[in-house]
Amino acid sequence: MRYFRATVEYDGTDFFGFQVQPDQPTIQGTLEQTLSRIVGEDVRILAAGRTDTGVHARGQVIAFRCSWRHTVEDLQRALNALLPESVAVLEMAEAEDDFHPRYSARSREYRYFVLNRPVRSPLRARYTWHVPQTLDVERMNEVASVVVGVHDFATFGDPTVGEVTVREVYRSRWERDGETLVYIIEGNGFLRRMVRTLVMAQVWVGQGRWTAEDFQAALAAQDRSYSPPPAPPQGLYLWQVTY
């Protein structure tokens, strides 16, 4: 058995998230079925993160073991030949035995894309959240900086494993690229729906629905009842994982 790691890009629009679900198309299920077909044995993969329904990835990292007699490049080519157009293996290599795509990670970076203009874009609807009202990016960055550091983010998400809701955020900021706003956040880990809920809270600040004090009070409350709903999934990307 050989141990491989790979970087995967996917359009999550037509999938019910990353994790395998019965009778539903998922990224994990698609990768495992394709690998099993190629190598002629059941293959199970590990991943750096479990993206939700409709969420995309530019840099998802996976690892798996299988019996493969040919080169790494042959396996990558075989995968990309059989995977659907919405999923691609960007890089592949043999991994060290102690590598784990989740637990070996030093940080994860997510990016969220907001189309901020009066008229929606049918061509970009799968990949951005359209917000027609003008947003105050300066105010949004003011509260984005508040989440940098170690905090209990219980207001903004649910733990993926166990009950601990404390995470450390290394970067949190908004950038404008023409009519597109991009939220960049990097940390040691994230709660379920944490990034999307932070995005919605900061957009509320940008719209004037919340003040900076409202945002800070919600963070300090450590209570889900203080949370806004999460932003739509299509604007979110697992951008990269650092090891």
Q: What are the catalytic residues?
A: 52
Q: Which residues make Cβ contacts (< 8 Å) with residue 106, sequence separation at least 6?
A: 188, 242, 243
Could you give the residue ranges of the DSSP H alpha helices within 149-226?
Answer: 194-207, 212-221
Q: What is the DSSP string of 25-59?
A: --HHHHHHHHHHHHHTS---EEES--PPTT-EEEE
**Residue pair 223/154 in contact by the 8 Å Cβ criterion:** yes
The Cα 126–Cα 236 span in angstroms is 10
Identify the residue whose tokens are 């058995």. 1
The Cα 126–Cα 105 span in angstroms is 29
Give the distance, in angstroms, between the CA of residue 197 and the centroid of all CA atoms in the same chain. Answer: 13
The Cα 45–Cα 101 span in angstroms is 10
The Cα 23–Cα 26 span in angstroms is 9
Three-state DSSP state, 82: helix
